[in-house]
Structure 1
């Protein structure tokens, strides 16, 4: 029986406890934390309500990250991920990611469970000697960042990478519509409208479904 570990959302250091009062053992990774970042095509605004993680040990951490995405330069197509995001401390490498978000330009809420292949976890702990343009020196680096890219129509792309190594595509996935709609907060169910610039672009050009 898997032990559920409740992570305190939005904290940099996850404080967790398992059912029955047990605490998960310390995580042994070659770096302090791995990262989760968000991306979306330009003007295709999204709001990520939650990311939950089932790690490779079988522990479940809820609400490890949420918020807005970083946007690409173009409204069509994709880039190859970003090195930004939030550090996911005290959580082992991911086995599954559970993503729930709002596509503000449609508007629509989506959810998906993404199984992370073993080759991705292997990449995340495999050191590579690389010349880092930022520091202008040779370093031993890791692909410790996972980027979740979201687009209208429920399309999700996933990349794994690092600031000096670049990103590799994990896969392209189709999310399901969340029948419960957007997250219920103290104002009830609602979608935030896109910003004026995004809405003006969409009014003129429409949503380029199929370009992702």
Structure 2
């Protein structure tokens, strides 16, 4: 019965979203990027979005992430990018992820300020080094970096544009464990050998994020 109710709610939500029509944006999709510091391995269980219309969209992104060049600090934007089509600009983003090197499971809520949505639809002139040309671009990328301790840092930016920091967020431990308690405590996988060796030698640089 619980699964049936969830299914009916999902169908109602899809119907509600379709009734609103396609979002009026200057591009077909905006993007979410997921990343982590080098060796601080992560598996993202889900990225969910509530857009500025108040509509909820579950599991718009997840899985493996992109990694930075260094374990300490941040790369400012980027990561494994996913186009988010037929979804209006984000108001709230929820991320649930497994920090494989601890191991621990975290949930974080990321509130997106209005200035970010304004930034995402503002045309900007930018110099693209690869093509050696000035072009009009949009900051349609939201990048989320996840680190041990439940730390999440978020930026807005885009191709040829600088990344602007939205904020630093601290997630909460999901006491149910990985996969919402449905895996008998089993995580996606153990850390790779290279990550395990690094942490054995250097530890986890908690204070750097």
Q: Structure 2 length as normaliser, TM-score?
A: 0.89
Partner of 1:205: 202
State the Cα distance separating 1:189 from its structure 2 match: 3.6
Partner of 2:14: 17
SS of structure 2 residue aligned to 1:183: helix
State the Cα distance separating 1:47 from its structure 2 match: 0.5
Partner of 1:63: 59
| 1:75-98 deviation per Cα after TM superposition (whole angstroms, max 9, x unaligned) | 111111117500000000000001
Alignment CA distance shift 1:49-1:208 (3 Å):
same
Residues 156, 172 of structure 1: 8 Å contact kept = yes
Aligned counterpart in structure 2 of residue 41 of structure 1, from 37, 44, 67? 37
RMSD: 2.1
| Alignment partners' CA distance in 1, 2:168 and 2:28 | 28
Alignment CA distance shift 1:127-1:97 (3 Å):
same
Residues 33, 87 of structure 1: 8 Å contact kept = yes
SS of structure 1 residue aligned to 2:198: helix
State the Cα distance separating 1:130 from its structure 2 match: 1.1
| 1:96-124 deviation per Cα after TM superposition (whole angstroms, max 9, x unaligned) | 00110000000000001111000000000
Partner of 1:11: none
Tell me the number of residue pairs that the alignment of Structure 1 and Structure 2 aligns.
200
Bigger helix share? 2
Residues 65, 79 of structure 2: 8 Å contact kept = no
Residues 83, 145 of structure 1: 8 Å contact kept = no
| Alignment partners' CA distance in 2, 1:165 and 1:139 | 10
Give unmatched runs, 5+ long, in structure 2. Answer: 1-7
Alignment CA distance shift 1:130-1:83 (3 Å):
farther
Q: Structure 1 length as normaliser, TM-score?
A: 0.88
SS of structure 1 residue aligned to 2:201: helix
Give unmatched runs, 5+ long, in structure 1. Answer: 8-15
